[in-house]
Amino acid sequence: DGGITQSPKYLFRKEGQNVTLSCEQNLNHDAMYWYRQDPGQGLRLIYYSQIVNDFQKGDIAEGYSVSREKKESFPLTVTSAQKNPTAFYLCASSIVGATYGYTFGSGTRLTVV
């Protein structure tokens, strides 16, 4: 079955650590996105990529980094510069132009301990 997979489901980060969230899709989508979701709030765009080896900052990119070395993969690194990283992170993918909207992964919940 085609889909988008995020791992891990739960992640704990110590102060000063960098952590990487995985996102893999086998939908042959060119575009991929990372969103942050805080309780009671909507989705906020962190980074997006329309093509391999290229990506763009979203509304809240500070403290995050991404790479897009393969079409199928778009990992997100939460760096120590992100002072409030506790949140639910969602990865999504689409064909360019989002003619049929976005397909979302199941999310990763990151907690600072």
Partner 1 sequence: GESVGLHLPTLSVQEGDNSIINCAYSNSASDYFIWYKQESGKGPQFIIDIRSNMDKRQGQRVTVLLNKTVKHLSLQIAATQPGDSAVYFCAERALAYNNNDMRFGAGTRLTVKP
Q: Which residues contact partner 1 (rule: CB under 8 A)?
A: 6, 31, 40-43, 45, 48, 50, 56, 58, 88, 90, 94, 96-107, 109
Q: How far is the CB of 68 from partner 1 (least distance, A)?
A: 14
Q: How far is the CB of 14 from partner 1 (least distance, A)?
A: 23
User: How far is residue 84's CA from residue 107's CA, in Å, rounded to a whole number?
Assistant: 18
Q: In whole angstroms, how far apart are CA 47 and each of 15, 31, 65, 113?
A: 23, 11, 8, 25
Q: How far is the CB of 98 from partner 1 (least distance, A)?
A: 4
**Closer residue to partner 1 in complex, CB, 6/82:** 6
**Closer residue to partner 1 in complex, CB, 55/72:** 55
Q: How far is the CB of 111 from partner 1 (least distance, A)?
A: 13
Q: In whole angstroms, how far apart are CA 102 and each of 8, 30, 36, 110, 111?
A: 21, 11, 15, 22, 26
User: How far is residue 106's CA from residue 91's CA, in Å, rounded to a whole number?
Assistant: 8
